[in-house]
Structure formats: C-alpha cells, structure tokens
Chains A and B, each alone.
Chain A
Amino acid sequence: MAQWIPADTPIMVEVSEPMALLGPLLSPEFGKSVTTELENGKANLKLQEFQGVVAAVELQLGTDWRAGLRRLAGKGLSFCVDPSGATLLAVDGEDEKLLSKLNGIIWQFASSGADQQNQPETVASPNYRGVKTWKIGTNEVHALLGPRLVVGNRTSFLNKVLDLRADAGGKTLASSALFKAAREAVGKEAVASVFLNLQTLRETPGLKKALEEDGNPVTALLLSDTKAALRSASWFALGLYVSGDKLILRTYTDGAAPEVSKWTSFSTLPGAGAELLPPLTVPGTIASLSLYRDLHSFYAAKDALFPERTSGLIFFENMMGIFFSGIDLTEGVLSEVRPDIRVVVAKQQYDPAVGTPATQVPAFAAVLRLKEPEHFGEIVEEAWQKAIGLANFTRGQQALPGLIIDKENQDGVKYTISYYRPPADKSSGAIDARYNFRPSLARPGDYVILSSTDALARDLINAVKQAPSTPAKTSPAVNSLMEIEGPALSAILQANREPMVRKNMVDKGDSREKAESDIQMLLVALGHLDHATLTLRRDAGRPQAQLEIRFK
C-alpha cells in the first residue's frame, strides 16, 4: 500500500499478516470464553448491540463473520495519517465479490438512513480517476479497488491516493528514504509495523512537549537516553512479531543521544561479566523491575543533565540534607549504593482486624544494595526514622493520625515497621485509603528494603535470602528489565473494580451500566494476559525497547 501513499505521510501502520494476530481471536473457543466472561460481568450492553449488528450482516452476506473477516481482510491492513490529520484505512482481502456485496449493504443502509433524515445530499457516489467512490455523510469516503477496500475521512486524501495509483511518477512513501530505513530495521519477519516520521511529527505540540527535557530526575533515571535520542531521531518504528505463544513488540529509531556519555554512563553495565540482577519475586507479585543505575554517577552529572534547578530538586536536596544529617548527597550517600536497583509491586493482604480500604493500592518496595552495610546501614535507618517522624509531625499539625513505629523480627532480621492505629469505627464499611500503607525498612545483609508495607518487606527479606545474586541471563546491553504477571495484575484490578467503575462515571459522565460494561471489557481483555516482559537496552548506541507478551 505504501506505493500509493504520499511521501510526506508521517504515520503509517501496516499489518502484513492479519490472521497471525487475529487467528487466535477468531477461534470459536475464544469467542465463547469472552462472551461468557462479558455476560458474567454484566458487560452485555455493548455485547448485545455488537451481536445484533453481526447477526444482521452475517445474514445478508450469507457467511459467518469469522469466515467473512478472513476473506475480506486476510491479506493485510494499512492505516495512515497525513500531515493535516486526514486518515485512510486500506483493507486487503481475497474475495472481491464478497467485498462488493458488503459495500452494497452499507450503501443501502446509509442511503435509507439519509432519506429518513431528509438529508439525501449527504450520500453520493462520484467518480475520480475512473474509480467510483462512495461518500457517506461528511466524514466517510471509500473506494473499492479490486479486493482492496480504501476508507478515508476526507475526500482530498483519498483522491491523492488515487492520483498516485494512476500516475506511477509521484513521490510515494515507499520511495521515502526514512520509510525504507525504518522498514529495513523492522525486518520482513514482522507481522505488523508502525512508522513515524519524527521530522514532521516532532513539530506537533503534543509530541514536542512529550520529548522536551522536563527536568524530572526520575524520568531521566528510568528512561536514560531514550528521550534525548528521540529528540534527534528522523524516524521511529515499531515491529510486531509472533514467536510461538508470544507476541513481541520492538522499537527502532535512527536517533542517538547527543553527548551520549552524559545520558548513558549511569545506565551502562561496566563490561565483561557485569549483568543485570534478576527481578525479585514474592507471593502475589504484580510487577518486578530490575535496573542497572549508578545513582552516584547519575547525580554527579546532575548539573549537566538538568541545567535548570527546579524547585522540586531543591526541595529534594534539602530534605535529603535533613534526613542524612548534612552528609553530601552525591559523595556521601549515593556513592554508598550499588547500581543494582530492584522494585517490586505486589498484591497485599489486609488484616481483617483492621479492614480493607475501598481502593486497594498494591504494596511496592525498592530493594537497594549497600557497598558498606556495616558502616552505612544505620545511617539509612536513622534517615528513614527521621522521614517518618517528619511525616508524623506534619500530619499532627493538620490534626491527622500519625504512624506508630515498631521493631519486628523476620528470620533473624530485625526490621522497622510503622502503622496507623486501626479505625475506631468500621461500621461505615470500607476504611480510609491510608490503611494501604505500613511503611517499613529492613536491612538483610547488604540489602536495604524500603517497602510500603511490612508484609512485602518480610516477603522480600525471604526473597533476597533465597535468591543468590546471579545475573538475569539477559544480554549485557540490557539495563532495565520488568516482568508483569497477568493474573496478579488482573486480580488487583478486579479487586478495584468498583472504584474503577465509579471513577469512569465521574471522569467520563457515563451511566453506571455503561461504566460497568467498559470496565468489564478491560478486565476481560487483561484476564487473557499471562505474562509480559519489558526490556530496555542499548543497541549500537541507540536505545531499544522490547515488550514480550504471552497470553493464556
């Protein structure tokens, strides 16, 4: 399709093998399972509507929808957006007759609708370049080109495509150097791809803002050189691959961060033998992240990375100065931390004696390693207790309940927990959101565990004791690895179903029935996710992300 698309088209999505993606979704078993889940979850509002339309179309086409979809769209899908925002979708099938029949049904439906509304002028079928096109209302125009259906939202864009189809001499996307480079990077094995011309798109306000240096150290620490590379890139591409039971999504770009070392030194593993530690796993893990980030070299380069000192940064440094009794943050504190950083998010179990908050926030923890735990461990402990003390003082000023600090022991490791007094009155049902938090600090061996709950801290004490510090068996170029467990993610969302429904109601103004239906669709979709792995790596000096998804 790219040979009919104008060269200045900045967004192009191509699905070369739709059945590789849609095949499993079209199986009767999958359909039955989704239908049952949607019905069980009261999401039958949209389902009934959809089923009604599908049944009517099946009857008129004389085929079931699965077979029809294969014959109409089995050869490929392309979608593109031109610089003015006009869109075009091309659907390649193998059955020209069936496509023509479908077009007849749609045309008949549109014409009778326009007549009923006394607006017959809103439907038309003009010819252009010898091709009959159909126009329905103000936002739809389409043409049949053999077994290919081309649908757009503006006649001008469709006409440009028909011009290029008629004159072989025009400049097309297929001949664009950027598009060709992106296609080559993605490779022929991709079942789908996305191409973005960043030279054009970078000027759009949304993307321009997203790529700007926002001075946020957390973003810079996590993404390393990614944003800097995209600021200098001409193109960005996504490739989608199928490998056994997995879908793999991989990013490509021609951009590299200027002054590469500034952006990469803190996230580059130091050569031979150095590899990322495996993510930690505890019961109920939702997501687990392992990062290689040298906090000392990151913060030592802060003036170069963030020339503008924001109020947030100044506040952060002031607080760190208080917590660490004036020890220099870069040379005295961060230099004591090894570059192996791990983060764990897990479902939490609530104490029945305390109650369950209406919105259940998963427990989360950071696991750091100290270079000299004997010397620096107690300094961290002192800083943490000061932080809790300060939080208590601030809450006290607002007449809010504070945290009680206590010490407990887990398998020989003494750790500090803090918690709120249980609510005096639980008769009104769900308890306050603060009961999601029982901030805890544990120091098993050379590790420091900073956890939002004591239960996760205990699980992590066990996890670091059991897991030897062996590499994650990833490529040395990988500096970030995140594992997501589908069932646990689905469970926490299911536990928060009611708050999500309510949020949808006030965010979107939907009725309760509609909000329940939308959330159920999301839960059903997520319910089929088994496992996902996200990695960030540097390939030939360029950042690359890869997402592997395995479905149930």
Chain B
Amino acid sequence: MKPDPNDPAWAWAPFQPDAARPWDLRLAAHLYRRAAFGGTWPELQRALSEGPQATIDRLVHPTPGAADFNRLYDDYENAAATSAGYGSQAWWLRRMIESPQPLQEQVTLFWHNHFGISNIHVKDNASLCRHIHVLRQHGMGSVEALLDAVLAQPAVWICLGARDNGRRSLSESSVRILMEQYTLGPGHSSDSDVREGARALTGWIISQGELRFVPGEYDAAPKKILGQEGDFDRKALVRILTTHPATGHWLAQKLVRWFISDTAKPSDSLLAPLAKQLTGDGSTAKGVEMLLRSNLFFSAEAYRQKVRSPVELALGIIRPLEGRTGTVRLAADLARLGQELYEPPTIQGWAGGLAWINSLTTLGRAKLAEALLAESGAYEGKLDPAAVAKRHGRATNDGGRQFLVDLYLQGDLGAETIGALAAGPSATGSVDTRAADPRQIAARLASLPEFQLA
C-alpha cells in the first residue's frame, strides 16, 4: 500500500516495519515519548527486540500490580490533598514517573486538559484530586461512563459556575461548554438545544461542597435535545451527547492533536474510523490503541511534530534516567513554565503546541534541565546519568556522551552538534569546565531544540 497520511486505509492500518521505515531506536523512543513520557534504556532495548505491536500490547494493557499501585497512590494523593500546597500534584507527578501503566497517566492528563477543570475556581485541592481520580478511573473506558462520572463531581460544576441548577436558575453557559467543548464540538448545537439541555440538568445543587439532587428543583417536563424528545435527565443527556456522531469526531480530532501532531488538521474522512472507535461500543482505550498502532503514528507527520509540554519535558528527562526527584519542587517549577497541574488556565485547557515556547520559557526550560541534572541543589542530584550509563555498560571516556545522545535524542542529532556538546558555555551562560561531565552533557542535550519536540 502506498504511504499516504491522508488516506484512512493506509493511515489506520497497523504499522509494519519495512526497509523504508525500519523499527529502530528512533521509533521505539518515539512510541515511549508519546505513550509513556519517555522510555528507559532497558524498555527501549526490549521494544527493539519485541517489535512495535508487542510493545504497544504491553503499553496498552494493564500490567499485574497496576491496580494495587493505583490504590496506594490514590491514598497518597487523597491524604496530601487535605492540605494546601503542591502535595497532591506532587504525588501525581511521582505517579507519572513510577506508574507501571504510564499510558493511563498520559490519558488522564489528556482528559484533565480536555475538561479544563481548574482549582483557580474550585479552590479545593481535595475536590480537584477526586476529579482527577475519576478521569483516571474512567479515562480509558467508554466516553459515556466517563462523562457521567465527571458530571457527578462538584468540582466540575463549581468550575463551570453552575452551583445551583434550579428550575429558575438554568445554567445555559455551562451546558454550552458541555456541548461545544466536552462533547459535540463547536457548531453542532442550537440555542434551543442548550436551553433544553440546561433543563435536563435541573435539580443538581452544590451544598456544603457536595453535589446533591433536589427533586423539587428538577424540571420533569418533556425536552427536545438534538432532535430527540423525552423526559431527559442528566444521565439521558449524557447518553444523547456521547452517542452523537459529532462527539466521536470532536474527540478523535483532539486525540490526534494530543498523540500525533500539534498542527495536524485531519480531514473528516481520516478521522471517521477513529471516531467510530470512541463511540457506541467503543472506548478511549480502543481509540488510543488504534492511534498508537497506526501507520500515521509512525509517519513523518507525527515524528517530533509535538512540542513537549513542561510535564512531558521534565518527565522526558527523569524517566529515561530511571530515577526519581523531589516532585513538590518540580510541581512548582512546572507551574512557572506554564503548566500547573490542577490549574489549566481556561476551560479549554492549556493552549499547547508552540504556545509552550517563548523567550522566557526557553530559558526556564534550560534552567529546569540544569537543576534536575545538577549534582546538588534543589533536586539534590538524584538523577545520575553516569550511573545509568555504567549500569548499561555504556560508561566511556567521553562521559557516556554517545549513550546519553542515544537515550535522549537517538539519531536526531547531527555529528556537529554532538561534537559541540563537549565545549562552550552552558545553557544559562556559565562557563563549563567539565565538558565530559555526564550531568552537564545530559543537561545540554535536554536544552537542545530537538529535545523540546516529542
């Protein structure tokens, strides 16, 4: 079949390596960057020996122990969420680093961005923490079950400014967001659909921080929503919205932007097969699996076509080095780079793509890389590139430079740039006298433009 990224048959066909697109370190690392925030050397080597489809099997399907791990981390996050500060966000970052199922965390982050529920409005860590747990618990399942669970969260209604959905206090603006942002996408619902949808949500009121149903405030009269008529309540509204073809299409478009490319503008016909996976009997897991297995995912249209978000940048430095760092400080540093977990800036989430990069954040990203990899300081030198190189038999007189290039940037760096790594000032301007120091080399690699792309 002729490679054509706009041809759905080719684009969604499972990737089969060939001479033109061999299964090599570059593609294995690409898969791990998008699906797992970055791969360790053993993970990449195993992926190379097992091939793409078997590797995707492992990434997509829950591993033994994942449920126990998540229960433990739910407990950590819940306890930390009772206090102010970055405690529960720090635990989420740690979960992303350590999870045996990192794809689940990537998808949870996708939904956090999609719903855009922010503690700026909710002002309650515990409530946001419960919302994120719901996104994790249902994030890979059916979109209907996910939306149903999301709308049972007080944090969502507080953030949408709809604390009181009474008969005489219809919250049309929140239903507009529900239709245009969360499900159908823009242009598929009329003012009448929005108004009728708001009637379906009547009776749900926030009291003492909890969402309660007050039967007296429910409008039981028949409603007409998106061409369907009946006595629709919240559950029925969720079903109508999530089974509408536009929802699958809208979510497919967002998933393509998240997993394939920041700038992708896929045609309707290209999106149709993916949209089908997300609606009806489908699930997010099926959709994501289809994406990851596809020719499109391993094509030039996807390779290094996404700007790493601050979270992806930091985890892309940490995970490959098989280490952990203090994540309270990390959560604060990521907030300074524009991605404060629990606080998407708007209901549309983070703008993403090129919006992550400006003159301030470019310097900030380089400084974060230096701080994470420094021998001492805020992160206490917990990441040790030299030890990792030695563990994998790649410690050499060049400070493990080639190993770190292979680990962080694979074949995407020219010989000239690799040579230049050995000399010159560091990213923040200080003169480097330890050109062969693996920490310095790793920090420089993580500051390169190539590394900013996932």
Q: Is A3 an interface residue (CB 8 A)?
A: no
Q: Is B232 an interface residue (CB 8 A)?
A: no
Q: Is B124 an interface residue (CB 8 A)?
A: yes
Residues in A with CB closer than 8 Å to B326 are 506-509
* Cα–Cα distance between A508 and B82 once the two chains are bound (Å): 20
Instruction: Specify which of B78, B83, B158 is in contact with A359 (CB 8 Å cutoff).
Output: B83
Residues in A with CB closer than 8 Å to B21 are none
Residues in A with CB closer than 8 Å to B209 are 399-401
Q: Is B90 an interface residue (CB 8 A)?
A: yes
Residues in A with CB closer than 8 Å to B83 are 359, 433
B433 to chain A minimum Cβ distance, whole angstroms, is 11
Residues in B with CB closer than 8 Å to A398 are 123-124
Instruction: Specify which of A357, A401, A432, A502 is in contact with B126 (CB 8 Å cutoff).
Output: A432
Interface residues on chain A, size class = 20 to 34
Instruction: Specify which of B78, B90, B207 is in contact with A506 (CB 8 Å cutoff).
Output: B90
Report the nearest A residue to B380, measured CB to CB.
A508
Residues in A with CB closer than 8 Å to B382 are 508-509
Given contacts A398-B123, A399-B207, contact A506 B82 (CB under 8 A): no
* Cα–Cα distance between A398 and B76 once the two chains are bound (Å): 25
Residues in B with CB closer than 8 Å to A509 are 94, 323-327, 379-380, 382
Residues in A with CB closer than 8 Å to B371 are none
Beta-carbon contact of B79 and A430 below 8 Å: yes
Report the nearest B residue to A429, measured CB to CB.
B75
Q: Is B208 an interface residue (CB 8 A)?
A: yes
* Cα–Cα distance between A432 and B326 once the two chains are bound (Å): 25
Beta-carbon contact of B79 and A506 below 8 Å: no
Residues in A with CB closer than 8 Å to B154 are 399
Instruction: Specify which of B80, B87, B208 is in contact with A399 (CB 8 Å cutoff).
Output: B208
* Cα–Cα distance between A66 and B103 once the two chains are bound (Å): 54
Q: Is A499 an interface residue (CB 8 A)?
A: yes
Beta-carbon contact of B94 and A428 below 8 Å: no
B361 to chain A minimum Cβ distance, whole angstroms, is 24
Report the nearest A residue to B325, measured CB to CB.
A509
A419 to chain B minimum Cβ distance, whole angstroms, is 15
Beta-carbon contact of A399 and B206 below 8 Å: yes
Residues in B with CB closer than 8 Å to A505 are 94
Residues in A with CB closer than 8 Å to B94 are 505-506, 509
Report the nearest A residue to B75, measured CB to CB.
A429
Q: Is A358 an interface residue (CB 8 A)?
A: yes
Residues in A with CB closer than 8 Å to B347 are none
B75 to chain A minimum Cβ distance, whole angstroms, is 8
B159 to chain A minimum Cβ distance, whole angstroms, is 12
B128 to chain A minimum Cβ distance, whole angstroms, is 13
Residues in A with CB closer than 8 Å to B124 are 398, 400
Q: Is B151 an interface residue (CB 8 A)?
A: no
Beta-carbon contact of B327 and A432 below 8 Å: no
Report the nearest B residue to A402, measured CB to CB.
B208
* Cα–Cα distance between A281 and B231 once the two chains are bound (Å): 67
Beta-carbon contact of B163 and A506 below 8 Å: no
* Cα–Cα distance between A399 and B124 once the two chains are bound (Å): 10
Residues in A with CB closer than 8 Å to B79 are 358-359, 430, 499, 502
In B190-246, the 8 Å CB interface with A consists of 206-209
- For chains A and B in complex, what number of residue pairs have CB atoms within 8 angstroms? 57
* Cα–Cα distance between A400 and B80 once the two chains are bound (Å): 18
* Cα–Cα distance between A432 and B81 once the two chains are bound (Å): 9
Beta-carbon contact of B206 and A506 below 8 Å: no
Chain A contact residues, majority secondary structure: loop
* Cα–Cα distance between A428 and B206 once the two chains are bound (Å): 21
Residues in B with CB closer than 8 Å to A433 are 82-83
Residues in B with CB closer than 8 Å to A357 are 82
Give per-residue flags for A405-449: 1 if the beta carbon is below 8 A from chain B beta carbons, else 0: 000000000000000000000001010110000000000000000
Interface residues on chain B, size class = 20 to 34
Report the nearest A residue to B97, measured CB to CB.
A509
Beta-carbon contact of A358 and B82 below 8 Å: yes
A107 to chain B minimum Cβ distance, whole angstroms, is 24
B155 to chain A minimum Cβ distance, whole angstroms, is 11
Residues in B with CB closer than 8 Å to A399 are 154, 158, 163, 206-209
Given contacts A399-B163, A400-B209, contact A506 B91 (CB under 8 A): yes
Report the nearest B residue to A358, measured CB to CB.
B79
In B299-340, the 8 Å CB interface with A consists of 323-329
* Cα–Cα distance between A111 and B324 once the two chains are bound (Å): 31
Give per-residue flags for B58-93: 1 if the beta carbon is below 8 A from chain A beta carbons, else 0: 000000000000000000101110110001001100
* Cα–Cα distance between A499 and B76 once the two chains are bound (Å): 9
In A493-539, the 8 Å CB interface with B consists of 499, 502-503, 505-511
Given contacts A358-B79, A358-B82, contact A506 B126 (CB under 8 A): no
* Cα–Cα distance between A399 and B162 once the two chains are bound (Å): 12
In A386-410, the 8 Å CB interface with B consists of 398-401
In A335-375, the 8 Å CB interface with B consists of 357-359
A35 to chain B minimum Cβ distance, whole angstroms, is 28
* Cα–Cα distance between A499 and B79 once the two chains are bound (Å): 8
Beta-carbon contact of B380 and A502 below 8 Å: no
Residues in B with CB closer than 8 Å to A511 are 324
* Cα–Cα distance between A508 and B382 once the two chains are bound (Å): 8
B391 to chain A minimum Cβ distance, whole angstroms, is 14
Give per-residue flags for B362-384: 1 if the beta carbon is below 8 A from chain A beta carbons, else 0: 00000000000000000110100
Residues in B with CB closer than 8 Å to A430 are 79
* Cα–Cα distance between A465 and B79 once the two chains are bound (Å): 40
Beta-carbon contact of A428 and B78 below 8 Å: yes
Beta-carbon contact of B82 and A359 below 8 Å: yes
* Cα–Cα distance between A432 and B125 once the two chains are bound (Å): 12
Max chain B Cβ within 10 angstroms of own Cβ: one of A428, A509, A510: A509
Beta-carbon contact of B80 and A401 below 8 Å: no
Report the nearest B residue to A434, measured CB to CB.
B82
22 example contacts (A-B, Cβ-Cβ < 8 A) are as follows A398-B124, A399-B206, A399-B208, A400-B208, A400-B209, A433-B82, A433-B83, A502-B79, A505-B94, A506-B87, A506-B94, A506-B326, A506-B327, A506-B328, A507-B326, A507-B328, A507-B329, A508-B380, A508-B382, A509-B327, A509-B379, A511-B324
Shortest Cβ-Cβ A-B pairs, 4 listed: A509-B324, A506-B90, A509-B325, A509-B326
Chain A interface (Cβ within 8 Å of chain B)? 357-359, 398-401, 428, 430, 432-433, 499, 502-503, 505-511
Other contacts beyond A499-B79, A508-B380, A509-B323: 18, CB < 8 A: A359-B83, A398-B123, A398-B124, A399-B206, A400-B208, A401-B209, A428-B78, A432-B82, A503-B87, A505-B94, A506-B327, A506-B328, A507-B328, A507-B329, A508-B382, A509-B324, A509-B379, A509-B380
